[in-house]
């Protein structure tokens, strides 16, 4: 199983039962995860993202070699961000980056964001965009961060022909027509961590097609069991299940 | 096996309550959910009129008709319409098959105006469920209760078992608020599957006061079961949360009504 939505380090607002890397890795392995795409909670509020990306890369190697794959962040609002992108690729050998436009204070139609997406596409880097970290109603009263509006992503995908995007936690504030348009580009994928409703994965598969859907847990902030049980809650054909749990992510990883 | 405290007839297609019930039960079966409690009708009405309360309860009664062995019904009542609510409790609980009451967001529960509802429900040993959601983003409804409102209610009715809906939404506050009031249990339904919720609840309240619920069909059964399945607590504590606590609360009224559980 490939989990495309995992975080290392400390969630800023509480300790989590599995926020020690050894424990997280043990949990993932016990669940049958063979590869986990990993960002860092530190990227949300830290401004020295180059330092965070370094720690992320080395912790992935140290605690989960062969399992944890680091997805560093790039914040196009920061001075000299292209060097962060370069380091992700050249220094750390990362295959993708994870963006947090809401915590970093830019919209997806910001010209700086377009530049970043163009550069990532040119380097064949996979781009993950986390639309939401937690329910807007429970955010710390002094840190109210609106969810990412994914609508401008449709134009970005149309404009940058090589761009491939995974929208993480995209369903808390998803507009049905935006999800449809993103899916129609054939270069946007969705993870199941924030998909709610009974048999939600089944409805998602009906909406966007099983080849757009990826297994993602948002662990350790969300319980990993949630994503696992969602696969059981929806009646999926063997081929669909294999694609969601692994095959679609494998294709993206190539 | 799992008993689910918190389900609605929404989130699945179906023209009638019975059709929707059939679908929900089929999905619940995939996850080992044995019994489900239903309240409110085919749509969400935040400030129901007297007529709408009756209609919503009728829909649940219809849904229960073919599923008595799998589902329980709670009577939807409102602090805005105390007389009608009391009449609905007579119709649906005292003389009908329902075993609990649900108070939602029409009227805050710290207002003593709802006391006759609580007293009558307590007389009938009906399970009393009060929704709460303390929101930090300023989107609370005018009549929406907070955990602190439930505390006021619990102080006025110290011997009546009460359930704090959604653990107050901001569960770290909800758990703390009701901690000193042993008659208040918490419903863990209807929030994201955030790690640590159940561990904190068991640590601060004891597993006997924590009850699994989903808030399906709008929520996934899976995401809500995960809160218990993935919690770092004992198997005994999990059994209490999944089923035994709710069963214990329902036993007196079911016994009185001759419902086998
Ligand atoms: Zn509900």
In order, the DSSP letters of B79-103 are TT-HHHHHHHIIIIIISSS--EEEE
Choose between B146 and B13: higher pLDDT: B146
Read off the pLDDT of each residue in A28-46 and give the average, rounded to a whole number.
98
The per-residue pLDDT for range A140-184, each reduced to its tens digit, is 999 999 999 999 999 999 999 999 999 999 999 989 999 999 999
For the cut 90, the answer to whether the pLDDT of residue A251 exceeds it is yes
What is the pLDDT confidence band of residue A130, given thresholds at 50, 70 and 90? very high
Mutate to test the interface with A, among B221, B223, B224, B241 (most CBs of A within 10 A): B223
CB pair distance less than 8 Å for A223 and B133: no
Chain A residue with minimum CA distance to B221:
A198
Name which of A16, A139, A198 is nearest B195 (Cβ-Cβ): A16
In chain A, what percentage of residues exceed pLDDT 70? 100
For the cut 90, the answer to whether the pLDDT of residue B177 exceeds it is yes
> What pLDDT does B19 receive?
96
Read off the pLDDT of each residue in A37-53 and give the average, rounded to a whole number.
98
Read off the pLDDT of each residue in B53-60 and give the average, rounded to a whole number.
98
> What pLDDT does B211 receive?
98
Name which of B169, B217, B230 is nearest A198 (Cβ-Cβ): B217
Instruction: Count how many domains chain A has.
Output: 1
The per-residue pLDDT for range B197-210, each reduced to its tens digit, is 999 999 999 999 99
For the cut 90, the answer to whether the pLDDT of residue A242 exceeds it is yes
**Which DSSP string do the residues of B150-179 spell out, in sequence order?**
HHHHHHHSTTS-EEEGGGGSSHHHHHHHHT
Task: Name the CATH code of domain B2-257 (choices 3.40.50.1360, 2.60.40.1190, 3.50.50.60, 3.20.20.140).
Answer: 3.20.20.140
Task: Assess A226–B contact: CB distance below 8 Å, yes or no.
Answer: yes
Cα–Cα distances in Å, from B128 out to A182, B101, B153, B246?
Answer: 44, 5, 11, 12
Task: Assess A26–B contact: CB distance below 8 Å, yes or no.
Answer: no
Chain position carrying tokens 């095959």: A247
Number of H helices, E strands in chain A: 11, 8
* Domain span at A27: 2-253
CATH of the domain at A159: 3.20.20.140
In chain B, what percentage of residues exceed pLDDT 70? 100
> What pLDDT does A174 receive?
87
Cα–Cα distances in Å, from A232 out to A200, A207, B239?
Answer: 11, 19, 21
Task: Assess A254–B contact: CB distance below 8 Å, yes or no.
Answer: no
- Kindly list the domain boundaries of chain B, sorted by start residue: 2-257
Interface pTM (ipTM) of the complex?
Answer: 0.97
CB pair distance less than 8 Å for A224 and B230: yes
In chain B, what percentage of residues exceed pLDDT 90? 98
Instruction: Decide: A160 and A118 in contact? Cβ < 8 Å.
Output: yes
**Which DSSP string do the residues of A169-203 spell out, in sequence order?**
STTSS--HHHHHHHHHTTSEEEESTT--STTHHHH
CA A40 to chain B, closest CA, distance in angstroms equals 17
CA B161 to chain A, closest CA, distance in angstroms equals 27
How many residues comprise chain A? 254
Centre of ligand 1 to C-alpha B119, Å, is: 23
Cα–Cα distances in Å, from A46 out to A41, A50, A53, A70, A98?
Answer: 9, 10, 11, 17, 14
CB pair distance less than 8 Å for B223 and A235: no
The per-residue pLDDT for range A178-229, each reduced to its tens digit, is 999 999 999 999 999 999 999 999 999 999 999 999 999 999 999 999 999 9
Instruction: Decide: A189 and A213 in contact? Cβ < 8 Å.
Output: yes
Please report the sign of the dihedral spanned by the C-alpha atoms of residue B215, residue B217, residue B221, residue B223: negative
Read off the pLDDT of each residue in A88-115 and give the average, rounded to a whole number.
98
Residues from chain A that touch B169, judged by Cβ atoms under 8 A, are 137-138
CA B87 to chain A, closest CA, distance in angstroms equals 33
Residues from chain B that touch A219, judged by Cβ atoms under 8 A, are 195
For the cut 90, the answer to whether the pLDDT of residue B104 exceeds it is yes
> What pLDDT does B168 receive?
98
Task: Assess A85–B contact: CB distance below 8 Å, yes or no.
Answer: no
For residue B259, the cross-strand partners are none
* Summary mean pLDDT of chain B: 97
Would you give the DSSP letter of residue B24? H
> What pLDDT does B208 receive?
98
Centre of ligand 1 to C-alpha B209, Å, is: 19
Name which of B195, B216, B231 is nearest A198 (Cβ-Cβ): B216
> What pLDDT does A202 receive?
98
Task: Assess A12–B contact: CB distance below 8 Å, yes or no.
Answer: no
Would you give the DSSP letter of residue A147? P
């Amino acid at each position: 199983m490939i989990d495309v939505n995992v975080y290392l380090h400390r969630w800023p607002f509480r300790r989590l039962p599995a926020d020690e890397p050894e424990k997280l890795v043990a949990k993932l392995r016990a669940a049958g995860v063979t590869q986990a795409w990993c960002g860092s909670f530190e990227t949300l509020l830290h401004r020295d993202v180059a330092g965070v990306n370094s720690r992320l890369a080395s912790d992935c190697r140290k605690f989960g070699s062969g399992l944890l794959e680091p997805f560093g962040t790039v914040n196009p609002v920061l001075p000299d961000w292209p060097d962060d992108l370069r380091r992700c690729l050249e220094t750390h050998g990362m295959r993708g980056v994870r963006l947090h436009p809401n915590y970093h204070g830019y919209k997806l139609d910001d010209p700086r964001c377009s530049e970043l997406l163009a550069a990532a596409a040119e380097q064949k880097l996979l781009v993950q965009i986390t639309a939401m970290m937690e329910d807007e109603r429970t955010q710390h009263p002094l840190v109210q961060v609106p969810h990412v509006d994914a609508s401008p992503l449709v134009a970005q995908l149309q404009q940058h022909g090589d761009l491939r995007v995974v929208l993480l936690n995209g369903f808390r504030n998803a507009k049905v027509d935006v999800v449809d348009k993103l899916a129609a580009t054939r270069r946007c994928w969705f993870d199941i961590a924030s998909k709610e409703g009974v048999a939600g994965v089944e409805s998602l598969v009906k909406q966007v097609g099983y080849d757009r859907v990826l297994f993602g847990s948002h662990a350790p902030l969300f319980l990993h069991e949630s994503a696992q049980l969602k696969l059981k809650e929806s009646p999926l054909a063997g081929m669909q299940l294999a694609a969601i749990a692994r095959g679609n992510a494998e294709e993206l990883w190539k | 096996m799992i008993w689910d405290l918190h389900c609605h007839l929404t989130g699945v297609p179906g023209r009638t309550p019975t059709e929707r019930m059939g679908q929900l039960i089929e999905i619940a079966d995939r996850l080992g959910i044995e019994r489900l409690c239903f309240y409110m009708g085919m749509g969400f009405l935040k400030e129901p009129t007297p007529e709408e309360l009756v209609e919503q309860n009728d829909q649940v009664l219809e849904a229960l008709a073919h599923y008595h062995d799998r589902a329980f019904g709670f009577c939807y009542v409102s602090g805005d319409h105390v007389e009608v609510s009391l009449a609905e409790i007579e119709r649906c609980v005292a003389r009908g098959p329902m075993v609990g009451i649900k108070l939602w967001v029409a009227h805050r529960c710290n207002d003593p105006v709802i006391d006759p509802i609580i007293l009558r429900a307590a007389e009938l040993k009906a399970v009393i469920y009060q929704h709460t959601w303390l929101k930090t983003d300023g989107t609370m409804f005018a009549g929406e209760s907070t955990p602190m409102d439930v505390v006021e209610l619990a102080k006025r009715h110290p011997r009546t078992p009460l359930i704090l809906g959604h653990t107050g939404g901001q569960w770290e506050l909800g758990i703390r608020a009701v901690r000193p009031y042993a008659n208040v249990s918490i419903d863990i339904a209807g929030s994201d599957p955030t790690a640590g919720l159940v561990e904190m609840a068991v640590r601060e309240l004891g597993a006997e006061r924590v009850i699994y619920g989903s808030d399906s069909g709008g929520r996934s059964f899976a995401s809500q079961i995960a809160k218990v399945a993935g919690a770092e607590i004992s198997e005994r504590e999990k059994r209490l949360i999944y089923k035994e606590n709710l069963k214990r609360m329902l036993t007196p009224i079911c016994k009185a009504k001759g419902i086998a559980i």
